Amino acid sequence: MRRIVLATRNGHKVRELQTILADLIDELDLEIVGLGEFPDLPDVVETGVTFAQNATLKAVAAAEATGLPALADDSGLAVNVLGGSPGVFSARWAGTHGQDRANLEVLLGQITDVPDEQRSAAFVCVAALALPGGTVVLRRGQMPGTLAREPRGDNGFGYDPILVVDGDTRTAAELTFEEKNAISHRGKAFRSLSADLRELLARS
């Protein structure tokens, strides 16, 4: 069994990726582990100003520190009328990292007067694969939609309760885990990366 490290200490994200890449894991006999398996490794400061930069920083650091192929991602909400913001600052849009409710309230306050037809937005994810030898591959995924005027749903986190998914009347937080996983920005990015992972592992 070949180990691949996902550059996160979030067990939920590790399990999510195991689900997204389930077929590839079975095909190549892979084991995906998180940074929790390497407690002495320092956390990487996300100093990039783009999703690609931050994903690369995390994947390269994990590959170099562990000697294993490493995966990482960076994601956020891009609102068209705000020029793509909050973008990489999505998790700290209200000023403090991880304050989901405050982030929602700040964002909704900023677009209160924006008409419904101009409230388009998308969750964006860039996934990175880094090999210890220095190879890096990036893939991008999006989940487009329109911003609701108030939060709905309890199944998601972050901005999920306000993004009404294109082709649906529900927000991302009203979808089941399986429904969201099938169309999510993270799912699309990592499924796209799976072909690169298969090719690069075959060579190494």
Rounded-to-integer distance, Cα 44 and Cα 51, Å: 14
Torsions phi, psi of 74, nearest 5? -135, 140
What's the CA angle centered on 180, arms 68 and 144, to 5 degrees?
Answer: 100
pLDDT of residue 14: 92
Q: Nearest-CA neighbor of 107 among 85, 88, 122?
A: 85
Tokens of 187: 């799912």
**From residue 28, how far is each of 36, 75, 165, 199 by CA, in Å?**
23, 27, 33, 11
pLDDT of residue 204: 66
pLDDT of residue 168: 96
Q: Which helix (H) or strand (E) holds 6?
A: strand 2-6
pLDDT of residue 1: 78
> What CATH number does the domain located at 2-203 have?
3.90.950.10
Q: List the chain pLDDT tens, one digit each, 204 residues.
A: 799 999 998 888 898 899 899 999 999 999 999 999 998 888 888 889 999 999 999 999 999 999 999 999 999 999 999 999 999 999 999 988 778 899 999 999 999 999 999 999 999 999 999 999 889 999 999 999 999 999 999 988 899 999 999 999 999 999 998 899 899 999 999 999 999 998 888 776
Instruction: Identify any residues that bridge with 1 across adjacent strands, giving them in sequence order.
Output: none
Query: Which residues does the annotation mark as catalytic?
Result: 74
pTM of this structure? 0.92
pLDDT of residue 80: 97
